[in-house]
Amino acid sequence: MSSTAPVSLTRFLIEEERAGHINAELRLLIEVVARACKTISIAVGKGALGGVLGDAGQGAAQINVQGEAQKKLDVLSNEILLEANAWGGHLAGLASEEMDHAQPIPDVYPRGNYLLLFDPLDGSSNIDVNISVGTIFSVLRCPEGVTRPDDSHFLQPGHAQVAAGYTVYGPSTMLVLTVGHGTHAFTLDREVGSFMLTARHLRIPEETKEFAVNMSNQRFWEPPMQAYVADLLAGKEGPRGKDFNMRWVASMVADVHRILTRGGIFSYPLDAKCAEKGGKLRLMYEANPMALLVEQAGGAASTGRERMLDVVPKHLHQRVPVFLGSKREVETAVRYHTEHD
Ligand code: AHG
Ligand code: MN
Ligand code: MN
Ligand code: MN
Q: What is the pLDDT, as a whole number, of residue 275?
A: 85
Quick one: pLDDT at residue 274?
A: 87
Distance 339 CA to ligand 4 centre (A): 33
- How many angstroms separate the CA atoms of 294 and 178, rounded? 9
Q: Tell whether residue 122 is among the known ligand binding residues.
A: yes
Q: Is the ipTM of this complex over 0.90?
A: yes
Whether the CB-CB separation of 255 and 168 falls below 8 Å is answered with: no
Regarding the beta carbon of 288 and ligand 1, being less than 6 Å apart is answered: no
The residue whose CA is least distant from atom 19 of ligand 1 is 250
Question: How much is the average pLDDT of 186-201?
Answer: 98
The CA distance from 252 to 319, in Å, is: 14
The pLDDT value given to residue 330:
98
- Stated pTM of the model: 0.97
d(CA 292, CA 182): 10
Strands 163-169 and 173-178: antiparallel
- When pLDDT is averaged across residues 278-303 and rounded to a whole number, the result is 98
Spatial distance between the Cα atoms of 53 and 74, rounded to a whole number of angstroms:
10
109 C-alpha vs ligand 1 centroid, how far in Å? 34
H-helix or E-strand spanning residue 79: helix 72-86
pLDDT at 216 over 90: yes
Q: What percent of the chain has pLDDT over 70?
A: 99
Q: Is the pLDDT of residue 1 over 60?
A: no
pLDDT at 213 over 80: yes
Is there a binding annotation on residue 123? yes
Ligand 1 closest atom vs CA 248: 19
